[in-house]
Structure formats: C-alpha cells, structure tokens
Amino acid sequence: MMLPSSSDLHGNERFDLTIRGGRIVTDGRVVEGDLGVRNGCIAAIGGSLPPGKRDIDATGRWVLPGGIDSHCHVEQRSGMGMMCADDFYSATVSAAFGGTTTIVPFAAQHRGMSIPEVLADYSQRAAEKAVIDYGFHLILANPDEQALGVDLPQAIRDGINSIKVYMTYDKMKLDDYQLLDVMALARQEQALVMIHAESNDMIRWIAQRLIERKLTAPKYHSVAHDPLAETEAAYRAIALAQLVDTPVLLVHVAGRDTIEVIRQARQLGANVLAESCPQYMFLKAEDMDRPGLEGSMFCCSPPARDEASQEAVWQGLIDGTLSTYSSDHAPYRFDESGKLPNGDATTFKEMANGVPGIELRLPLLFSEGFLKGRMDIHQFVALASTNHAQLYGMSPRKGAIVLGADADIAIWNAERETTVTASMLHDNTGYTPYEGRTIRGWPEVVISRGRVVVENDQLQVERGSGQFLRRGAPALQGHLPQRAVERPQGRVLKALIGLDKEGQ
Ligand code: DUC
Ligand code: ZN
Ligand code: ZN
C-alpha cells in the first residue's frame, strides 16, 4: 500500500485536526508534542503546531496507532450453519470503542459456493455497515480446479492476500494434499496461508467416546480438543509448508507445547509465523466447568488451557515467537442461535465455538501487558497494530504513526479504570467472558483516516463510512527467522515448487 505524495501533506493550509501535547509513539520512539492531520493522513509529528480546524487536547495521554484486528469473524456463518451475533455495524462499532481502527475478518466459502459469489456477498454487506476500514481473508473450503486455477489468483489480485484453511471441522477441513495445493499457490501468488491447526481425527475419536459415555457437558470440549491435537497439526502444517517452501501463519495458538514446536521450528529456520489471542492469556479450560451449560460461553477452538499455557503465550508474544495478537472474535449468543442450538440438551459437540473479544482485546493487553510491565509501549504497538499491517500487506498506510500514513489513531488514558460488564460493550453477544475484570487504561478518542469515530463515549460517524482495503503482498522481513534453512530438495521437487526453473 502506497503513501500519498509529500505535496498532499505539506502546504500552508491549516491542519484538519491537531492533536496536542500527547506522548506519540512513532517509529520506535516516543515523541512528546503535537500531531497534525491533513486530508485523512498524518502530516506532522512532534513540536508545537499551529491551531488546526479542530484541536484535541491529549496532554498526559498516549497517542498510538489505531489497532488492527487481523482475526475476527463478522456476519459469518459457521461450518455448522450458525450465524454469528455481530454484523458489520455492531462489530466495527465495538472494535472502534476498543481502540481498533482496522479489521480483517473472513469472507467464508462453504462447500458448494463459488469464491466470486462469496466475496461479492461479504463486500456488499460490509460496505453498507462498517464504520472503520476493513479487508478480508478468504476462508477456502473447496480448493478445486476453478478455485485454484482462476478464482483464488483473481481474489489475490483484488487485494485479498491471505487465505485461511482448516485442518479440522468435518465441513471445512482440507486434507494434507489440498493444503499442499493451497500453499504452493500462495507461494506463486504471494499470499499468506493462515492455518487452523488441530487434528480432526484425534478430536473426532475422543469426542465419539465421550458422547457414547454421555459425557456431554461443555467442559468435555477441552478433553476432546486435547493439546496434542493442536501440537500434532501445527507440526504437520509446518512440515507441509517447508516441503513447498511457503511461509505460513498458525492462527489462535493456545498450548504451551505448540508454542515450543513453533519456537524450535523457527530456530531451525522454518518460515512459520503464529498468532495468539486474549482468551489464551486470560481464560482457562476450567472456565468451561460451570453449572449446566454456562461453560459454553467460554468455549472456543482450540480451547483455553492452563496457567502454564497462559504464561507460554505471554512469553511467545514478548520474545517474537508469536507475531500477532488478534481477538478471534467469534460472537455467539447464549441461546438457540449460538451456544445452545438444542436448548438444555445441547452437547459440547453442538454448541457454537468462539468467544467475543473485539472490544476488549487492546484494553486487556494495555492493562495487563504494558501497564503491568510485561512489555514496553513499542511491543504493545507492534502486537496491537504494526505487525498485522506488515504481515497482511497494509503497511505503510496502516499500522504506524508515520508521515503520510492514514491518520488512524487511538488516544489512550492510562489512568482510567474500568470494571468490565457486558452492558458497557457494543457487540451483540449479550455476555463477555471477562465480566467483572478490572482493566486500567482505555482508548478514549479513536480516529480513522482523520475522522473522529469515538469521543466522549459516543460514536461520531455514520454506518457505511468505513472503506475496503485492497491489501498488497505480505511484508515478512523482520518477522521470519534470521537463519534460512537450506533444505536439500532434489532438483525435481525444486522445479515443482518453482525454486529451480531449469530442473526436471
Ligand atoms: N474457532 C474457530 O475455528 N473459529 C471461530 C472461533 C473458534 O473458536
Ligand atoms: Zn480457527
Ligand atoms: Zn477464528
């Protein structure tokens, strides 16, 4: 994504907006001073600027890039046919109130649907409702000849530069052969493959036995989704990706052993990236052990684990084993539309998988990561925003406060203390797994392309005012391991994957 030319930024005309006296995090530095916005872009950083058409006082506040949430499910039907609780309006409003100015949700292909039909449908719904900018990843459930040969390359050219594939869920999963096909295509077309890594057969085998024994309560979800199901699939995905020399990103990584596999693979030079999410740092498997079906409100896949895994996720985010921190917002109501499709008789196999988190993602990390001293403000910004922009082809326009970038800004009050309740949030889930938690720090003013989106706890923009982002190729430099593996592929395999044009 390109920045505007310097003539668009300079000039004597007044700034449209001047943000005064904040602590601006820009390019690895903290600059105290003013920030000027013109034509929706950042036009001046630091020093003392003349009055703008509008001034916002940020004295004593952090002025940070708006967050980017590169993994959230919005107005999407699950593989089981359940519609999530948020549409593009409620999800983007909720994201904005939590300091996020860009989301990249999924356009989900289910078997029997064509890719152009899926993209047209999601594009229309988002354009009518989104209040902040958005792109799409494509969920690919049917990698047939038409998809791989025609539709997917076209989608990538149209700015959908990332593809999510599933190794589990009977109606979504690809087999290893199909995964190799998708990875090889992504290599050729410069797209990033995002992988939901869990072993379908391990989960199915355990679940079958649990159900036969009538062990159906929500807590058995985490028994069925044994940590080894994630670790085995992660290892397999990495091996497949290495075979065809394609970088891949493992999404929503939950378990300590999986993180260790990723760390070791990276140390050996494998081009694997990974993401984690608040549920794996702030929730545990035992949260699903509640009376009746209440535990379903904490059910996601992979499930949250234990304290050792929570610590491993923190460590992975801090040491760079995990590059992005996303919400995996997958909102389902605690009723027949989501968590309880069969009412009181719902088993753990039937309840919708997913937890909400689009609004609390950044406040949780700011409070528990930055303010508690686990990470510095630059690590917070990288995990909240910059890394997402780079990996998903939105940099330099998004993800950083630099001259010429979109003026996507969140002004954080580090003193504000909030006790979380579902009713203060703006999504449609009707509950939050973080009910009653105390959080310090809140993004009080949120700005997208120079437009004030949230101020005084009120939404300030119209539905449909967000814009579609046509993303570019992933920018992976700095995120992949330093050490490249020289794999001893024979010439024939090298030729098959395009490493050796001459071979055969
Ligand atoms: N798991 C998924 O794979 N998708 C949505 C939410 C979840 O928990
Ligand atoms: Zn997933
Ligand atoms: Zn997801």
Cite the DSSP H helix spans in 303-428: 307-319, 361-365, 377-381, 387-391
Q: 279: CA distance to ligand 3 center in Å?
A: 12
SS3 126: helix
Query: Thinking of the domain 65-382, which architecture would CATH place it in?
Result: Alpha-Beta Barrel (3.20)
Expressed in angstroms and rounded, the spacing between residue 150 Cα and the centre of ligand 3 is 26
6-64+400-459 matches 65-382 in fold: no
Tell me how many degrees the CA angle 169-135-35 measures, rounded to the nearest 5.
135
DSSP string, 434-457: TTT-EEEEEEEEEEETTEEEEETT
Ligand 1 pocket member 353 (CB < 6 A): yes
d(CA 229, CA 168): 10
**Predicted local confidence at residue 7, as pLDDT:** 54
* Closest protein CA for atom 6 of ligand 1: 354
198 lines ligand 1 (CB under 6 A): no
Q: Residues 6 or more apart from 375 whose CB is under 8 A from it?
A: 317, 318, 369, 383
In a mutational test of the pocket of ligand 1, which residue from 300, 327, 339 has the highest number of ligand atoms less than 8 Å from its CB? 300
Helices vs. strands in the chain: H and E counts, helices first = 16, 18
Tell whether ligand 1 has an atom less than 6 A from the beta carbon of residue 73: yes
- Quote the ligand 2 centre to 73 CA distance (angstroms): 10
How many other C-beta atoms are found inside a 10 Å radius of the C-beta of residue 61? 23
Let me know the angle formed at the C-alpha of 102 by 100 and 106, rounded to the nearest 5 degrees: 115
Tens place of pLDDT per residue across the chain (504 aa): 777 755 556 567 899 999 999 999 998 999 999 999 999 999 999 999 999 999 999 999 999 999 999 999 999 999 888 999 999 999 999 999 999 999 999 999 999 999 999 999 999 999 999 999 999 999 999 999 999 999 999 999 999 999 999 999 999 999 999 999 999 999 999 999 999 999 999 999 999 999 999 999 999 999 999 999 999 999 999 999 999 999 999 999 999 999 999 999 999 999 999 999 999 999 999 999 999 999 999 999 999 999 999 999 999 999 999 999 999 999 999 999 999 999 999 999 999 999 999 999 999 999 999 999 999 999 999 999 999 999 999 999 999 999 999 999 999 999 999 999 999 999 999 999 999 999 999 999 999 999 999 999 999 999 999 999 999 999 999 999 987 777 777 778 888 888 876 554
Listed in sequence order, the residues at least 6 apart from 445 whose beta carbon sits closer than 8 Å to its beta carbon are 56, 58, 409, 410, 411, 452, 454, 455
pLDDT for the residue 335: 98
Which residue matches tokens 């593996």? 485
Q: What is the pLDDT of residues 178-233, one digit of tens each?
A: 999 999 999 999 999 999 999 999 999 999 999 999 999 999 999 999 999 999 99
**Structure tokens given for 407:** 């003026």
pLDDT for 255 equals 98
> Structurally, what CATH architecture does the domain formed by 6-64+400-459 represent?
Roll (2.30)
Q: Taking the mean position of all CA atoms in its chain, how far away is CA 490? A: 37
Domain ranges of the chain: 6-64+400-459, 65-382
Determine contact, residues 269/483, Cβ cutoff 8 Å.
yes
Which helix (H) or strand (E) element contains residue 262?
helix 256-267
Can you tell me the distance from the alpha carbon of 409 to that of 247, in angstroms, rounded to the nearest whole number?
A: 30
Amino acid at 317: L
Closest ligand 1 atom number to CA of residue 196: 3
**Which ligand lies nearest the alpha carbon of 355?**
1
Q: Which of 257, 251, 199, 249 is nearest to 225 (CA)?
A: 199
Q: Shortest CA distance to 1 belongs to which of 418, 375, 316, 406?
A: 406
Angle of CA points 218, 220, 225, to nearest 5°: 115
